[in-house]
Chains A and B, each alone.
Chain A
Amino acid sequence: MIESRSALLLAMLIGCAFRALAGESPFFVTYTDRLEEPGNLEIESKNATGRPADSGRFIGSALEFEYGLRGWWTTEVYLDGQATSGDSTIFTGFRFENRFRLTRQAHWINPVLYVEFEDINGADKSLLEVVGHDTEADLAVPNAIARQEKQRELETKLLFGSYWRGWNFSENIIVEKNLAHAPWEFGYAVGVSRPLALEARPDRCAFCRENFTAGVEMYGGLGDTSLLQLRDTSHCVGPVVDWNVAKGVDVKMSPSFGITGTSAPLLLRFGISYEISQFARKLRGRQ
């Protein structure tokens, strides 16, 4: 029964993908310096699944609504939830984030400031970032216990992006603070990617090489102010691929491998996004 529901959901997602149609970042954790175009709304589902030791398989999901307010300002809301086999399916909270372009012109390295408030609980498994001493063991705590932990947190990031001969290099420095208690936590995410073709073909095609972007992403925790060391921190690395199926629709996937003993050994990440151009104008019925 559960398998047939999953198949139906997958078919619906693929159906949505082919109905509509901007090459997106192939990364799941690392942000590039790119902001949403003003007036555009992007709806994206980011998912991570894995099977931690001593626990059932889980799928953590984040539904993202990203809107370009200005050429220099993008705002986003995330709704998070997760399901764990043999446990329960729960809503885990929301995130509200803003990204600000810090320079008027493009440079070799482009900085963007990221500020987020999140109100989630300890059962959240969307894994949109890894900070401090987050480990695989956190993913194995039963939902009924994990959700008792409130995580009202302020998260700031400095995002850097550079471009060279079609390659994108992105680096993120993450600083997170639980507003109720707990020390400042630190993390990082880096990624490099490149489209498979740099020139566009004249004809419209779903499988053109220019529609595929591939790369590698790595992210992890850097400890916290009470224990600023790499011991007992998680670090993951994996290939990423993004397919711009059609105008506005992207599908991306990444297996992510843990490289320390406390990391989740394998996570499979997948996502689908749909961008609505000039959303506000369309709402007002002005095309």
Chain B
Amino acid sequence: MRGRIGHILTSVALVVFPALAESLMQHAGKIAPHRANPYAGNERAREAGQKLFDENCGSCHGEAGKGNGRAKTPPLTTRFVHDADPGALFWVLRNGSPSHSMPSFQHLPEAQRWQIITYLQSLGEEQK
């Protein structure tokens, strides 16, 4: 019985959590201006972004952005994040979202936010 409930909860989480990330990203996609990532395809920037992600984001979004089982901190390994406009991701990092318990990372220098985005958009590549 307990296993069945676990299965149901896991199934619900798999559908609901990415949807939460999508709702914030969808909102950002509508209002954020298009911006090109100055580090796109830069391997050093991706590695630096991974380090920054571990230090600033990993405690909520889980190791390698796989999520930590909480609704408000969804996994970031989805195609939705991978294919998002970099400007939308930049908007989310700059503004955060109080209603999603997502803090603003405006205090990080712009270069470091772009390094994090470079890493984030590399996460979903295996799934494509």
Q: How far is the CA of A168 from the CA of B109 in the complex (A)?
A: 10
Interface SS of chain B: helix, strand, loop or mixed?
Answer: helix
* Most chain A CB inside 10 Å of its own CB: which residue of B52, B100, B106: B106
Query: Which single member of B47, B94, B97, B101 contacts A202 (CB below 8 Å)?
Result: B47
Interface-lining segment among B13-21, B54-62, B74-82: B54-62
Q: How far is the CA of A8 from the CA of B115 in the complex (A)?
A: 41
Contacts A198-B109, A202-B51 known; A106 to B115 CB distance under 8 Å? no
Task: Report yes or no: A166 in contact with B60, Cβ–Cβ below 8 A.
Answer: no
Chain A 43-61 per-residue mask, 1 if CB under 8 angstroms from chain B, else 0 = 0000000000000000000
Binding site for A on B (CB under 8 A): 44-45, 47-52, 54-56, 59-60, 68, 94-104, 106-107, 109-112, 115
Residues of B within 8 A of A178 (CB): none
Name A242-263 residues within 8 Å CB distance of B. 247
Residues of A within 8 A of B99 (CB): 71
Task: Report yes or no: B98 in contact with A198, Cβ–Cβ below 8 A.
Answer: no
A35 within 8 A of B: yes
A-B interface contact total, Cβ < 8 Å: 84
Task: Report yes or no: B112 in contact with A199, Cβ–Cβ below 8 A.
Answer: yes
Task: Report yes or no: A104 in contact with B98, Cβ–Cβ below 8 A.
Answer: yes
Task: Report yes or no: A106 in contact with B95, Cβ–Cβ below 8 A.
Answer: yes
Q: How far is the CA of A247 from the CA of B51 in the complex (A)?
A: 10
A177 within 8 A of B: no
Task: Report yes or no: B96 in contact with A199, Cβ–Cβ below 8 A.
Answer: no
Task: Report yes or no: B112 in contact with A106, Cβ–Cβ below 8 A.
Answer: no
Chain A: minimal CB distance from B48 (Å): 4
Task: Report yes or no: B95 in contact with A105, Cβ–Cβ below 8 A.
Answer: yes
Residues of B within 8 A of A110 (CB): 104, 106
Residue on A nearest B63 in the bound complex, by CB: A287
